[in-house]
Amino acid sequence: MAVSSLPSLSRRHMLGVSTVAIGAIGTMPALAARTGAAPPVFGPADGVALLSRNENPYGPSPSALRAIDEQATKGAYYAEGGVQRLAAMIAERHGVTPDHIVIGNGSSEVLNAIGLAWKGRGPMVGPQLFWDTCALYATRQGGTLNRVAMTPDLGIDLAAMDAAVGQGAALVHICNPNNPTGKLIPGPTMAAFVRKVGPRATVLVDEAYNELTDDPAGASVVPLVKEGANLIVARTFSKIYGMAGLRIGYTISSPEKAALIRTNLMSSPNTAGLAGAIASYNDEPFLRYSKGKVVEAREMILAATKKAGLRALPSQANFVFVEVPDADRLRAAMAERNVLIRGTYGQWRNWSRVSTGRIEDVARYAAALPELVRA
């Protein structure tokens, strides 16, 4: 087991991508400048394949867009009624009461609120490599994060996490599937971990990509909330629903934990996001379509990496983690072709994350990969 206590640093710095990630985003205006066109205010410029941010370009759903259009005239008013309606819908699906649900401006806000609420209770524990917004936000406010080394195959070492909790941790944070690896801890394994660790520390499971897994119900630990487990589950409308820019996320936990999270929220969700979320939450035809596109693109990436002689981790999300000779060099070479992907993740300089994106954009990545990976 390897555990390290880290100081207050930005999330991008912790992942070792401060210049790389910002460079990928900053590439969009540069690419537009080549053609003399002004960069768009929202979304990628024409001709740019944006495969670096785990967005789902197949949303929002038509039902969400209609609802947003219909409710736009109510934008002058605060949206408490929408929060209550959406919380009731989520609660009904999971067989709990609405006081188990917290709605926020994207899952980032609720994760940050959790970090604030738990930071004074003791250290947090997380893997060396995960989407750590909650944890690092808390460290900037004086909290402590103890990181646990990954397994040799870049999995989350649950035994080592359990041992780290034994050192007096208050909160354990796991993403399942994990970001950026895309790897999924099987539902029964995750549930056993929650039951074992829960008596000693609160377990926070970020299930942002759950709906994109092969078996969402089987992969989730939400049912443990009804059993009284010391657990918080976070979800988002940014992934399968394709609403990243509309900022709606939520947690499912005990009413007591939910009340504590609410006291640390910074603001209320927006009308447009709530309208879209309410309209699309149970839109099964769209959800099947959206997931189908993600899976199709994911299989294209996996096939392309295999054809190029590269190794990719098995993914249950809308991105793939690929082992390459030099992640930053590949990112720069792809950017020259208007294909934006991620570069280095901290010490993992030979691993490159590519998001699924539009099918035609993934096809461009797949076509360029064999040549550029040898450059």
From 267, 217, 317, select the one nearest 109 (Cα to Cα). 267
Q: What is the pLDDT of residue 133?
A: 80
- Whether 266 shows a pLDDT value over 50: the answer reads yes
pTM of the model: 0.90
Percent of the chain with pLDDT over 90: 86
Residue written as tokens 């461009």?
364
Which residues of the chain does CATH 3.90.1150.10 include?
8-59+285-372
Instruction: Tell me the average pLDDT across 218-228.
Output: 99
Cα–Cα nearest to 316, from 304, 327, 302: 302
The C-alpha atoms of residue 297 and residue 310 are separated, in whole angstroms, by 17
Pure H helices in 250-322: 255-262, 271-280, 284-307
Distance CA(203)–CA(35), nearest Å, equals 49
What DSSP string describes 180-228? TT-----HHHHHHHHHHHTTTSEEEEE-TTGGGSS-HHHH--THHHHTT
Q: Please give the pLDDT value at position 27.
A: 54
CA 184 to chain centre: 13
pLDDT in tens, 88-131: 999 999 999 999 999 999 999 999 999 999 999 999 999 999 99
For domain 62-280, the CATH class is alpha beta
Contact 354, 370 (CB under 8 A): no
Q: Which residues pair with 173 in a beta bridge?
A: 204
pLDDT of amino acid 135: 86
Q: What is the pLDDT of residue 32?
A: 52
Q: Does domain 8-59+285-372 have CATH number 3.40.50.1820?
A: no
Helix residue ranges, H only, 16-94:
18-35, 62-71, 80-94
Whether residue 180 is preceded by a cis peptide bond, meaning omega within 30 degrees of 0, is yes
Amino acid 356 reads T
For residue 109, the surrounding DSSP H or E stretch is helix 106-118
Model pLDDT, residue 33: 52
| pLDDT, position 134 | 77
Q: What is the four-CA torsion angle of 333, 355, 49, 235, rounded to 10 degrees?
A: -140
**Residue ranges matching CATH 3.40.640.10 in the chain:** 62-280
Supply angle C-alpha 165, 229, 84, rounded to 5: 120
Rounded Cα distance, 283 and 13, in Å: 38
- Asked if 272 contacts 68 with a C-beta cutoff of 8 angstroms, the reply is yes
CB atoms within 10 A of CB 370: 14
Q: Please report the pLDDT score of residue 375 as a whole number.
A: 74
CA distance 355 to 242: 13
Residue 23 pLDDT more than 50?
A: no
Average pLDDT over residues 63-79: 96
Average pLDDT over residues 300-318: 98
3-state secondary structure of 1: coil
Nearest CA among 131, 120, 123, 115 for reference residue 265: 115
- Separation between Cα atoms, residue 187 and residue 180, nearest integer Å: 19
